[in-house]
Structure 1
């Protein structure tokens, strides 16, 4: 990273564009959906602090204590009549990292990032705390410090962009660097089959010794599939498994594809070494984890408990 490629913090929230229009504020998700009604606190803050014609790009987050809480964001979608109370108890924040249009409607997509950032800082100079400009640095040491210190607050990593880069909708003109660490979990199931395990379903035991679902891996490499197919043991058809079949959609956290997940249960005896990021809530990793290797030297009793993140 150099003075031409600054880094900014990557939050654990929902990416959203905010359009300041004459009739109010329109919030649009990364998938193009209207999420304005779920964030009345943010639409009000933008309406009061931002001039007409501005278009902001940022991340919607909710803080709980000294770290972000992704579950509070998700809860707004299903809150219904309880939404005002949830918004009052767990207010959202909009962390803005780019300005796509300046008041009264001047397009900035072709302007370099450093110019868009300067205009953004001016625009939000007097904004309330709910509207914050994301920190940015060209200092490699500071970016490294963010990766090691801010991850405890739920920050997932840093994003690296070019200072002279233009904004290109639909294209990733930046690089994301996440903070990962290595840990262990128990293999409780696979998809689609033990003969060809494409992904692993992982778990950890709670204080009562019951295996709790904690996450799913990203697709395995062919060599990993071949190795695991010889190590995993299918569950006896009459045998009991602690997880329902198929796996409930709510367990996997896929709100955009809310379908139960069919899988093949296995005897929970094999320990997997994995790489995980900081998105860990309610004893589950929200993002897919990276499978590294089997730990045949460990037993399920050696794996950290379900209420831990080690």
Structure 2
């Protein structure tokens, strides 16, 4: 399978779909990663197609235990004292290779795997039903231990609702629902219900220094531009990398009249949906 691949996504719903043919998985709070077990190495791809192998050396090393030709999709997460630590994930994702190696010793990552895209013997299996891919995934992972692990899955909605209610204390975001007969395809074919809904927004500018941006200006799904609250250090570093790659910007104003410097497109950020009615938004993560 050639890199990069276009990943399957989930659309937000307000109620968990219930009925025959639905399967459910806990929604982990981390960074989306597709892992490719190649003949001589392991490569890791982000949701947007970037090579992020250097940021996750512990997962790349663990991936060597998979059979050559395996391609899996899942979430890189970091457990810290029994709960998912998204700040640690952000710090790792924004780090250069040397610092990422150091961080991997302090707080090792885990890889919560939910799909098998390519089988070592069968090749590309994305067109096969979810339940068949799930069975093949469990077979491939049978002799592989942590930090590579399949996410739990059930076709019992009562169990899924218990996950939704009980696992929030561990920073599990919610539940993803998938059709048993569904193929793996790009686009929002899955359903998700989570405790704090976010929307995808595109970075269009920044305030502050280009090497240490203070806030980001985003274009929201309804077309408005808005300035974020002060960025965390990992988000500021990620935005600075994007600014450096985009080249010089120009001066502009948001819809509310705030001055900012433009930057090139392509960086997708998650903003808390509850804040997007106002001029200032809260950025949760970079895609």
Shared fold (TM-score, shorter chain, > 0.5): yes
Alignment equivalent of 1:68, drawn from 84, 98, 105:
84
| Aligned match for 1:136, one of 129, 146, 153 | 153
Greater relative CO (CA pairs within 8 A, separation 6+): 2
Match of 1:160 in 2: 177
Q: Which of 58, 62, 87 is residue 74 of structure 2 equivalent to?
A: 58
Instruction: Output one character per residue of 1:14-39: Cα deviation in whole Å (capped at 9) or x when no partner.
Output: 11111111021110000000011111
Which whole-Å CA distance do the structure 2 matches of 1:29 and 1:62 have between them?
16
**Residue aligning to 1:177:** 193
Residue 110 (structure 1) shift: 1.1
Deviation larger for 98-107 or 36-45? 98-107
* Pair member with larger Rg: 1
Which aligned pairs between 1:258-277 and structure 2 lie closer than 5 A?
A: none
TM-fit CA distance, 1:173: 1.2
- What is the Cα-based RMSD across aligned positions, in Å? 3.6
Give 2:164's aligned residue: 147
Q: Output the CA distance in 2 between the equivalents of 1:74 and 1:291.
A: 21
Residues 23-42 of structure 1: pairs in structure 2 closer than 5 A = 23-42=40-59
What are the ranges of 5 or more consecutive residues in structure 1 without an aligned counterpart? 182-212, 226-244, 266-285, 295-310
Q: State the secondary structure of the residue aligned to 1:136.
A: coil
Output the CA distance in 2 between the equivalents of 1:95 and 1:39.
14
The one of 133, 136, 161 equivalent to 1:116 is 133
TM superposition shift of 1:252: 9.6
Q: Of residues 279, 286, 290 in structure 1, which corresponds to 2:274? A: 290
> Separation in 2 of the partners of 1:217 and 1:29?
21
SS at match of 1:173: strand
* Aligned-residue offset at 1:82: 2.8
Deviations 1:182-213 (A, max 9, x none): xxxxxxxxxxxxxxxxxxxxxxxxxxxxxxx9
- TM-score, scaled relative to structure 2: 0.66
CA contact (8 A) 2:73 2:114 kept: yes
Unmatched 5+ stretches in structure 2 = 1-17, 198-213, 244-251, 258-269, 279-287
| CA gap 1:37/1:219 in 2 versus in 1, 3 angstroms | closer
Partner SS state of residue 110, structure 1: coil
Say if 1:5 and 1:81 are closer, same or farther in 2 by CA, change over 3 A. same
- CA gap of 1:220–1:165, structure 2 versus 1, over 3 A, is closer
Q: Quick one: distance in 2 between partners of 1:175 and 1:80?
A: 35
Residues 27 and 252 of structure 1: is their aligned pair in 2 closer, same or farther, counting only changes over 3 Å? Answer: closer
Q: Aligned residue for 2:211?
A: none
TM-score where L is the length of structure 1: 0.62
Paired residue total: 221
